[in-house]
Amino acid sequence: MSELRFTEDHEWLRAEADGSVTVGITAFAQNALGDVVFVQLPELQAYDKGAEASTVESVKAASGVYMPLDGEVLEVNDKLDGSPELVNEDPMGEGWFFRFKPTDADAVAKLLDQDAYDRLIKANAEA
Amino acid sequence: MSTEQLLKTPLHALHLELGARMVPFAGYDMPVQYPLGVMKEHQHTRDQAGLFDVSHMGQIRLTGAGAAKALESLVPVDIIDLPVGMQRYAMFTHENGGILDDLMVANLGNDELFLVVNAACKDQDLAHLRAHIGAQCNIEPLFEARALLALQGPAAVTVLARLAPDVAKMTFMQFQRVTLLGVDCFVSRSGYTGEDGFEISVPAADAEKLARALLAEPEVAAIGLGARDSLRLEAGLCLYGHDMNTETTPIEASLLWAISKVRRADGARAGGFPGAEAVFTQQQGGVSRKRVGLLPQERTPVREGAEIVNEAGEIIGAVCSGGFGPTLGAPLAMGYLDSAYVALDTPVWAIVRGKKVPLLVSKMPFVPQRYYRG
């Protein structure tokens, strides 16, 4: 788990052995969203960093999930089509969104690590 | 608006104690959901009983021999012949025929009417009443004095009858004085979920005691505004400010059923409410757009404000309320459509994030209403 990285938009990223990166939303994010009823997954194509690659819909609202780095989406989690509740039940595992190949392989390590993300959550909670 | 400026209902501390997530709503700091979450709160209400704090809504008492006649001058509804002990749905109409607010009116007898209006409109409604009928009856706002609780769901009657057995004899839309835990309350057998249930007006000082007693019953869970919205949407019930406003008439809003026969163009007390001419013209000549139910044919929820287009891509309307129906197990919406497209099962499309999502015009309610009619 030490290899997890995070964005300020509450996505988690895990570097896989083959050089690809798996993306999902954090436990904090799913809790803030509430019950997820639909996930619009990205297309298998290249996206720029910051592009709205995916959308997650809770009972009440739609929220964008942004491409954390420049890269090409290789695979999406089709299970979310039939079982969007996996995002709530297992956000860091079965509820993953997509896997992509970053344009710059070194960019992942420069994102927030667990400690930095925990501090961000704490700061949010106190704000 | 910062949290400090928000108003609090008499149950505010209880909401915090129950772990509610609070949001600003109509100037109040209100629970949108509890730890159970919107989906489970929704389903709990359909399966058992949910307790809602709706104390932000405005309660107003009208008294005096002229009260019913006076109120009729502001609503297209039969108030004069509203039986004692009954409640009726009504709306304040604008001079252009639009809707200023929707409300419930109950007849307590002895020339006393009891009104419940929307939170966001209550100050404006009070001013409207005072300006137009202040000389004909006594108008008493109970905004701070009374709280309003809704107990909704198939077990609501079992639960409330433990405190007052006679409530089990009430039928849908009946309204009466009931003593609960030694406190004088007004109870109606109605609500905003499509389920059987009650709304309970209780003095503010006794509200928390009553809420705690109801929550202590095994069937009852606290339910927030999130589930209140999904429940009312499944039941096909309008939300003021979204599904109707001053720019929509009762005819366009598909609320002709709420205009009493006696107040319609051919009725014994035809007209006599603001905008009657405009409303009657539409009733007889038709309208260019109408509120309808819409069922998305994909899993994508379609939200308020989304444009609706025809096959050619021409804009023919917009979504006024939309989301996901936990009981329906699918997304659902209401929208205003050009009258050429309002027939059941007409295919139309909503534009969501630049893509066309297919919809079918649908009957409402989306989930059958289960009111207790005796």
A104 in Cβ contact with A69 (< 8 Å): yes
Residue B214 has pLDDT above 90, yes or no: yes
pLDDT of residue A3: 81
pLDDT averaged over chain B? Answer: 97
Rounded-to-integer distance, Cα A4 and Cα A91, Å: 13
Per-residue pLDDT band at A125 (split at 50, 70, 90): confident
- Chain B contact residues (CB < 8 Å to A): 32-33, 37-39, 42, 226, 229-230, 299-301, 303, 323-324, 326, 331, 353
Q: In chain B, which residue's Cα lies nearest the Cα of A59? A: B324
Sheet with B138-141: list strands edge to edge.
B87-93, B99-109, B112-117, B58-63, B138-141
B253 in Cβ contact with B240 (< 8 Å): no
The whole-angstrom distance between A12's CA and the closest CA on chain B is 23
Rounded-to-integer distance, Cα A28 and Cα A89, Å: 12
- The single-letter DSSP state of residue A41 is P
The whole-angstrom distance between A23's CA and the closest CA on chain B is 21
Q: CATH no. for residue B277?
A: 3.30.1360.120
pLDDT of residue B258: 97
Residue B264 shares a structural domain with residue B293: no
Last residue of a domain, one of B287, B306, B325: B287
pLDDT digits (tens, 9 = 90+) for B281-314: 999 999 999 999 999 999 999 999 999 999 999 9
Cross-strand partners of B220: B49
- Can you read off the two tokens belonging to residue B361? 């015009």
Pick the CATH number of A4-103 from 3.20.20.70, 3.30.390.30, 2.30.40.10, 2.40.50.100: 2.40.50.100
pLDDT digits (tens, 9 = 90+) for A64-91: 999 999 999 999 999 999 999 999 999 9
Rounded-to-integer distance, Cα B367 and Cα B231, Å: 9
Query: Cis link prior to B218 (omega < 30° from 0)?
Result: no
- Say whether B299 and A38 touch across the interface (CB within 8 A): yes
- Is residue B225 within a helix (H) or strand (E), and if so which, with residue range? helix B225-234
Per-residue pLDDT band at B2 (split at 50, 70, 90): low
Residue B246 shares a structural domain with residue B331: no
- The domain ranges of chain A are 4-103
Nearest to B299 by CA among A40, A87, A34, A52: A40
Of B33, B301, B326, the CB nearest to A57: B301
Of A34, A40, A60, the CB nearest to B300: A40
Last residue of a domain, one of B263, B287, B311: B287
CA B368 to chain centre: 17
Number of cross-chain residue pairs from A and B with Cβ atoms under 8 Å apart: 44
Residue B111 shares a structural domain with residue B213: yes
How many structural domains does chain B have? 2
Of A38, A57, A59, the CB nearest to B230: A59
Rounded-to-integer distance, Cα B91 and Cα B76, Å: 7
Residue B182: C-alpha distances to residues B163, B209, B210, B304 (Å): 10, 11, 10, 44
Q: Which residues on chain A are in Cβ contact (under 8 Å) with B303?
A: 61-62
Residue B78 shares a structural domain with residue B202: yes
- What ipTM does this complex have? 0.85
B358 in Cβ contact with B298 (< 8 Å): yes
Q: CATH no. for residue B330?
A: 2.40.30.110
Q: pTM for the full model?
A: 0.94
Residue B215 shares a structural domain with residue B101: yes
- Is residue A46 within a helix (H) or strand (E), and if so which, with residue range? strand A46-47
Q: Which residues on chain A are in Cβ contact (under 8 Å) with B42?
A: 59
Domain that holds residue B295: 288-374
Residue B184 shares a structural domain with residue B304: no
Q: What average pLDDT does the segment B184-205 reach?
A: 98
pLDDT digits (tens, 9 = 90+) for A5-33: 999 999 999 999 999 999 999 999 999 99
pLDDT digits (tens, 9 = 90+) for B24-59: 999 999 999 999 999 999 999 999 999 999 999 999
- The single-letter DSSP state of residue B367 is S
Per-residue pLDDT band at B4 (split at 50, 70, 90): low
- Chain A contact residues (CB < 8 Å to B): 34-35, 37-38, 40, 52, 55, 57-62, 81, 84
The whole-angstrom distance between A110's CA and the closest CA on chain B is 31
- Can you read off the two tokens belonging to residue B172? 């849908």
Residue B305 shares a structural domain with residue B362: yes
Residue B174 shares a structural domain with residue B301: no
pLDDT of residue B277: 97
Longest dimension (CA), chain B: 64
Residue B236 shares a structural domain with residue B327: no
Residue B73 shares a structural domain with residue B92: yes
Q: In chain B, which residue's Cα lies nearest the Cα of A41? A: B300
Per-residue pLDDT band at B1 (split at 50, 70, 90): very low
pLDDT of residue A124: 82
Of B32, B42, B300, the CB nearest to A38: B300
Residue B279 shares a structural domain with residue B294: no
Residue A2 has pLDDT above 80, yes or no: no
* Torsion on CA atoms A112, A115, A120, A126, rounded to nearest 10: 180
pLDDT of residue B127: 98
Rounded-to-integer distance, Cα B353 and Cα B32, Å: 26
Of B33, B37, B303, the CB nearest to A62: B303
Residue B279 shares a structural domain with residue B298: no
DSSP per position, B131-182 = HHHTTTSEEEE-TTTEEEEEEESTTHHHHHHHH-GGGGG--TTBEEEEEETT
Rounded-to-integer distance, Cα B291 and Cα B338, Å: 9
